[in-house]
Amino acid sequence: MQQLTQKLGSGDMVIQELPYPQVGKGMVLVRNHYSIISAGTEGSTVTAARKSLIGKAKERPQQVKQVWDTLKKQGPVQTYRAVMKKLDAYSPLGYSCAGHVLEVGEGVTEFKVGDKVACAGAGYANHAEVVAVPINLCVKLPDTANLKQAAYNTLGAISMQGVRQADMRLGETAVVIGLGLLGQLACMILKASGVQVIGIDVADAPVKQALKNNSVAAAFTRNTAGIEAKINALTSGQGADAVIIAAATTSLDPINFAGAITRKKGKVIILGAVPTGFERDPHWYRKELELKMACSYGPGRYDLNYEEKGIDYPYAYVRWTEKRNMEAFQRLIETKTIDIDYLTTHEFPFEDAPKAFDLVVNRTEPFSGIALKYNVDTAISKKPISVGVVQPNGKVAISFIGAGSYAQGNLLPNIPDSHAVTRIGVLTNTGTTSKRVAEKFNFGFCAAKEQDVLDDKTNTLFIATRHDSHAEYVLKGLQAGKNIFVEKPICLNEQELDNIIAVQQNVQKPVMIGFNRRFSPLVTQLKQKLGSGAMSMIYRVNAGSIPKDNWIQDMEIGGGRIIGEACHFIDLLTFINGSLPKTVSAMALPDPNGLNDTVTITIQFENGSTGVVAYFANGSKELPKEYLEVYASGHTAILSDFKELKIYGKGKPSKKKLLNQNKGQKEMVAAFVNGLLTNGQSPIPMADIFAVTRATFKVLESIQNGSQPYAV
């Protein structure tokens, strides 16, 4: 299928052939009939992409700071890879579309194949022939629906949420500042609610458009002489009950102007992207004005449970969610309560989408809404998309399922270049990522379905998806007879672990997990010096805070930080002392969100060694992340953030300092591939993988049961 993409680095925009989207649980697959270009949001994205690197840096100072922080902590190689991943990626465009349902995912009951639907969401409702959308970002339409108008779905919901935040009553007066698409839609929705609407814009064309189409009672350009007096006269000398700012600017004029024209104790709603540093006097303070933000489509936005898992808010307690806003907008269209037909000033066939964006960026002629129309009669194939010439299979034939930031920065670049290693295919949730990864890392094709990477061409499967799918893909890979490399964790619960153990022991295929730290050169040196045997170990991890709404913190998707990350540190202690965990206990610092990510873990090993993992999410960002001390037989080793190792014994301490941090990713991938080439085995014993994984589950049990020790 074809999709419009752009590279952030070069600004190159192209329609290209990409793999069919994956239809996950709770999702629907939609064939687009129309999608709408948002001149504001998408226009700024495209404009920024076409700027020089310096221009991009000026627009994104926060990201520049992140790059600098990465450089200081991880060195130039990892920083370069992270930056180039962003710049070279194929970025999807679009977030508002309409079409008909092609397929429904597991658990979907409210949609069926053939239904007309309108879709929303950046990364979902793209400018593409086919899109995969979660059910709470998709609304069902009547058979009579006009799909071009319905494609304004996202923009309509955003405007409606702004109107809801204004909370206006019949007969009140609203001023809408900014008469682009969002502003025009807000005007129509307000008018349909019985509100007198006054429109303001800096340009003459949108003012005339609003007046001509009767969406406002009055409208003025911002530079109209005596504009405040005119608005005052239209509001019986009181000022507007509410002002909705739907503009996009860095100027403070909209917020200060809103203060001047709003009545005492009135409201100002920020719908667009404007600064809010208003002047306190003479208006905002003396009038006791109320400032409110409108968060995109409405309640549910940015909530993983709502948008990704499809968990709805109770109707009685959250009357208007983002999906209900979309449904209400579509009803206004269907009943002809509002007529948005005039908003579409241009329509382009999808294959001319780059020309449409040239119009947006260069503004060669006046425009408002720009619709892209798709040819729905063309056949769409689910076949893999060939990228390069597939070489004859070597002894190790690799495919990837999942290829996000970590895989692109730490796994894919470190696959050895060898005639014995063949790169077969790549499968990810998004075709844009699959295509770019396949091109950049010389794979033969990007896949459209699981079977493409589970057939006989592949004998080694790398799994780098979100944590909740690891166990599923490990089992599918083993049952298909593949060698497995899976990013940590291998699974999220003991039942999944038991299933993996049973299948692995039956098929006798190696399973490798991404415990890279044991392969770090400084760890290798430490191990050689201290050997195995009873030792005492203290591992302090300044992990830093991750918001509770991040997918990693979600126990169903990410497993939480103990299962998702602390497994690394338990594994390293296991490797260093040379025996398996025997018992574990843990206690967590109480926190209001119950995240259990500031925790102290105590481990006793089979050979008598003891280890403490002090995992802290509440420390300073300025402190290096990882610090390890190991005491054994009169020696003490201190490893500082995988950049410096000191070993104390008799005489002068030995020291080794690296120019850049090395956590062993390159060495880990090489060890795995070389193990397959030489003896067909994983460099990490199965017993270590399974015991360390089970230990993380026991850590959670211990926390839940008052720090009680649990046998592993």
Q: Give residue 52's pLDDT band: very low, low, confident or very high (50, 70, 90).
A: low
Q: Which of 492, 513, 534 is the last residue of a domain?
A: 513
Phi, psi of 655 (to 5 degrees): -130, 145
Of 606, 586, 581, the closest CA to residue 596 belongs to: 586
Both 559 and 443 in a single domain? no
The pLDDT assigned to 515 comes to 98
Q: Is residue 311 part of a domain?
A: no
Q: Give residue 38's pLDDT band: very low, low, confident or very high (50, 70, 90).
A: confident
Of 407, 525, 553, the closest CA to residue 468 belongs to: 553
Of residues 695 and 12, the one with the higher pLDDT is 695
Both 13 and 145 in a single domain? yes
CATH number of the domain that 555 lies in? 3.30.360.10
Phi, psi of 553 (to 5 degrees): -80, -15
The pLDDT assigned to 56 comes to 52
Q: Is residue 45 part of a domain?
A: yes
Both 507 and 587 in a single domain? no
Strands 369-373, 344-349: pairing is parallel
Both 118 and 208 in a single domain? no
Both 31 and 174 in a single domain? no
Q: Is residue 252 part of a domain?
A: yes
Both 71 and 93 in a single domain? yes
Q: Which of 293, 315, 330 is the last residue of a domain?
A: 293
Residue 634 has pLDDT above 80, yes or no: yes
Quote the pTM value.
0.89
Q: Which of 315, 349, 373 is the last residue of a domain?
A: 373
Both 250 and 173 in a single domain? yes
What is the mean pLDDT of the segment spanning 641-669?
Answer: 95
What is the mean pLDDT of the segment spanning 267-283?
Answer: 95
Domain that holds residue 71: 2-152+340-373
Question: Would you call 154 exposed, middle or buried from its count of C-beta atoms within 10 A (0-12, 13-18, 19+)?
Answer: buried
CA 672 to chain centre: 29
pLDDT over 90, % of the chain? 84
CB atoms within 10 A of CB 619: 15
Q: Is residue 329 part of a domain?
A: no
Both 143 and 41 in a single domain? yes
Both 393 and 475 in a single domain? yes
Of 551, 566, 529, 541, the closest CA to residue 628 belongs to: 541
Both 352 and 397 in a single domain? no
Residue 58 has pLDDT above 70, yes or no: no
pLDDT per residue as tens digits for the range 515-569: 999 999 999 999 999 988 899 999 999 999 999 999 999 999 999 999 999 999 9
Q: How far apart are alpha carbons 529 and 52 in whole angstroms?
A: 50
Residue 141 has pLDDT above 80, yes or no: yes
Strands 483-486, 460-463: pairing is parallel
Q: Is residue 275 part of a domain?
A: yes
Q: Is residue 227 part of a domain?
A: yes
Q: Give residue 84's pLDDT band: very low, low, confident or very high (50, 70, 90).
A: low
pLDDT per residue as tens digits for the range 102-120: 999 999 999 999 999 999 9
Q: Is residue 324 part of a domain?
A: no
The pLDDT assigned to 544 comes to 94
CATH number of the domain that 113 lies in? 3.90.180.10
What is the mean pLDDT of the segment spanning 683-701?
Answer: 97
DSSP string for residues in 64-133: HHHHHHHHHHHHHHHHHHHHHHHHHSEEE---EEEEEEEEE-TT--S--TT-EEEEE-TTTS-SBSEEEE
- Structural domains counted in the chain: 4
The pLDDT assigned to 79 comes to 73
Residue 491 has pLDDT above 60, yes or no: yes
Both 19 and 68 in a single domain? yes
Alpha helices in 262-400 (DSSP H): 285-287, 304-307, 322-334, 353-362
Q: Is residue 493 part of a domain?
A: yes
Both 86 and 145 in a single domain? yes
What is the mean pLDDT of the segment spanning 444-453?
Answer: 94
Distances (CA, A) of 417 to 397, 459, 514, 599: 12, 17, 20, 41
Task: Rounding to the nearest 10 degrees, give the CA dihedral for residues 197, 199, 205, 209.
Answer: -10
Q: Give residue 61's pLDDT band: very low, low, confident or very high (50, 70, 90).
A: low
CATH number of the domain that 271 lies in? 3.40.50.720
What type of residue sits at position 363? R
Q: Rg of the Cα trace of the chain?
A: 29
The pLDDT assigned to 54 comes to 63
